[in-house]
Amino acid sequence: MVVCVCNAIRERDVRQAARAGAVSACQAYEACGKRAKCGQCVPFARAIIDEERAAA
């Protein structure tokens, strides 16, 4: 599933970044070499990161 259309960031990318230590959407995007643009995806990215942190 695509999380960020602006940057073509997929859910698996955000999950991988969260597993690698990203605790915010901005950190996850930086791990992908991108930056949030319009911001519409940030709440969804945060939810994915929270999910991964809870499972860890």
CATH code for the domain in which residue 49 is found: 1.10.10
Per-residue pLDDT of 20-50, as tens digits, reads 999 999 999 999 999 889 999 999 999 999 9
| Domain count across the chain | 1
For residue 56, pLDDT over 90 is answered with no
Q: Are 3 and 25 in contact (CB under 8 A)?
A: no
What global pTM score does this model have?
A: 0.90
**30 is in which domain, residue-wise?**
2-55
pLDDT at 9: 96
Average pLDDT over residues 2-27: 96
pLDDT at 36: 83
